Structure 1
Amino acid sequence: MKIAIASGKGGTGKTTVAVNLALSIPDAQLIDCDVEEPNCNLFLNKELEHIAESIITAPNIDEELCTHCGKCSEMCRFNAIATLPEKVLLFPTLCHSCGGCILACPENAISGKEKITGIINRSSNKKDHPMLYEGVLNIGESMASPVITELKRSIEPGIPTIIDSPPGTGCPVMTTLEDTDHCILVTEPTPFGLHDLKLAVKMVKIMNIPFGVIINRSEQENCIIDEYCNQENIEVLMRIPLNKRIAELYSDGIPFVEEMPEWKERFTNLFERIVNKKELA
């Protein structure tokens, strides 16, 4: 069972939910796909070991062979190549490493070269619970999706998996959510939270992923999030209150299920409900 934790915006408590849920499930693995700023280990303090690298194929242009025909520029939908009368300009931050320009070049003037864009780390103690995997995008790189793709290859099949996704609704999030069984959308009862929740709901519906909502820092029922979820027939899976003790533990880097056992039981029950719903579907 692979459950992704996502949010339409940053700062809603997505990582808090992911870490506390993973700690509440026996033999779980936690995958930190927020590769631009992985922070699950701030709460787990595990020793990590390097296990893999994210490698992409970047185009390499041989100007001596190039006739400046412009075929590569015409093919590139991302505008990563511009052909001038006497030179070809390459914009690496726009390149998606599809290899189309290599295929389009009639003179074989474009070849591929390997480029490392990030690394994959894993808990060094294989008896750790939860087992943590994280991806780290190299400084200066702009494409997070290849690192996320490589990170997800590390997921061990048959093990309960909690995936902490990047915030937002862009390509890195959609790459993270691919092939997951359920998505938990974490939001907060504010106008900004509602606006970005609506975007996230559209995304998971397009991807045809079953989902529910957790309202974090919830002060009361029947807030604007409840009204929206009622209108759209969206299940509110859990409410995490605006609680001083939870905030204190968070500021100390302590998952609150470790100090508040009633919450570990709630997260365990949440996981079991999602699993049962998947089996009945």
Structure 2
Amino acid sequence: MKIAIASGKGGTGKTTVAVNLYYFLSKEFNNQVRLIDCDVEEPNDMLFFHGAELNESRDVFTPVPKIDTTKCTFCKKCSEWCEFNAISIVKALKFAEVNNDLCHSCGACSMTCAFDAITEHPQPLGNISSYDPGFGAGVVEGRLEIGSALQTKLIKEVKKSVNTSDEVLLFDAPPGTSCPVVETVSDADYIVLVTEPTPFGLHDLKLTVDLVRELGIPFGVLVNKTGAGNNDVFDYLTEHHIDILGTIPYSKNYASTYSKGELLDDINNEFSQHYQHVVQKVIQMYKN
């Protein structure tokens, strides 16, 4: 079963939920649960697994075209085919160049060139690492190369690297509703949306609900930091018949524990019960 944890905005507690679900689900599924951190620009899941052993780490590269101006006729066919406007051609100056920041490595330009003036060369995309935190099937993390804008491409590589024989795969998605989020959740069996009871939380939740409904994937909402805002989120969920998976109360002590990276070191009974409630719902879906 593939479960994605997503949120319309940053700061709602998506990482908190992802890490805790990994912890509690691992107990229920005999450690056959794997956590995949797809927030490749800011992968934070591993901050909470102290002493985790690194199993494997490898660099990932993406092919980027280069133009040989001694062969190029400056016909501009490659730039016309490029949907991302990554190629600049100035015939009068005999200038031809690829902007690596805009290139998406689709290969259209090299296929279009009839003069063999374009060749592809590997460019660092990021890194994929797998860890053993001492429980569960392990944690996989993608970390994007600084300055790269190809989050979606790295997320695809991260998902390809995952062992699909595990009982449950948890995908921690980036915040928002952009392409990296769509890539992360697109093949999920179920999506846990994390929100907070604030005007901003409700606004971005609505955007995320529209997205997952467009994708046609079943989902439910976990409301974090309850008691710190208003009831507008609950009114919206009730009005639109959206399943409320559970609530996590606002707590300064819990926030302090999170800020120190000690989320899993000492889970009190109150928060344990809240997550167990969500876990039982997930188990019920798994059985169905």
* Cα displacement string for residues 172-201 of structure 1 (whole angstroms, at most 9, x for unaligned residues): 111111211111111111111111111111
User: Are 1:6 and 2:11 counterparts?
Assistant: no
**Partner in structure 2 of residue 157 of structure 1:** 164
Please say if residues 102 and 110 of structure 1, whose CA atoms lie closer than 8 Å, have aligned partners that are also in contact: yes
Which one of the candidate residues 145, 155, 174 is aligned to 1:148?
155
Matched, 1:62 2:75: no
Alignment of structure 1 residues 211-222 onto 2, 5 Å: 211-219=219-227
Q: Tell me which of 39, 49, 55 is aligned to 1:44.
A: 49
SS at match of 1:93: coil
Letter matched to residue 38 of structure 2: C
Q: Which amino acid aligns with 2:25?
A: I
State the Cα distance separating 1:37 from its structure 2 match.
1.0
Q: Which residue of 2 aligns with 1:77?
A: 83
State the percentage of identical aligned residues.
42
Structure 1: where are the runs of 5+ without partners?
none
- In structure 1, what is the Cα distance between the partners aligned to 2:269 and 2:24? 10
Equivalent pairs, count: 279
SS of the residue corresponding to residue 24 of structure 1 reads helix
Counterpart for residue 108 of structure 1: 116
The residue identity in structure 2 corresponding to 1:131 is G
Task: Specify the SS of the correspondent of 1:234.
Answer: coil
AA at the equivalent of 1:178:
S
| 1:129 corresponds to 2:129 | no
Once the two structures are overlaid, the 10-residue window that deviates more, 130-139 or 47-56, is: 47-56
Give the SS at the match of 2:25: coil
Instruction: Quote the offset at 1:233 in angstroms.
Output: 1.5
Q: Give the C-alpha shift of residue 154 in structure 1.
A: 2.5
Q: Residue 158 of structure 1 aligns to which amino acid in structure 2?
A: S
Deviation at 1:54, TM superposition (A): 2.1
Shift of 1:76: 0.8
Q: Give distance in 2, aligned partners of 1:162 and 1:245.
A: 26
Q: Structure 2: where are the runs of 5+ without partners?
A: none
With normalisation by structure 1, the TM-score equals: 0.92
Match of 2:23 in 1: 23
Normalization by structure 2: what TM-score?
0.90
Report the CA distance between 1:35 and its aligned residue.
0.9
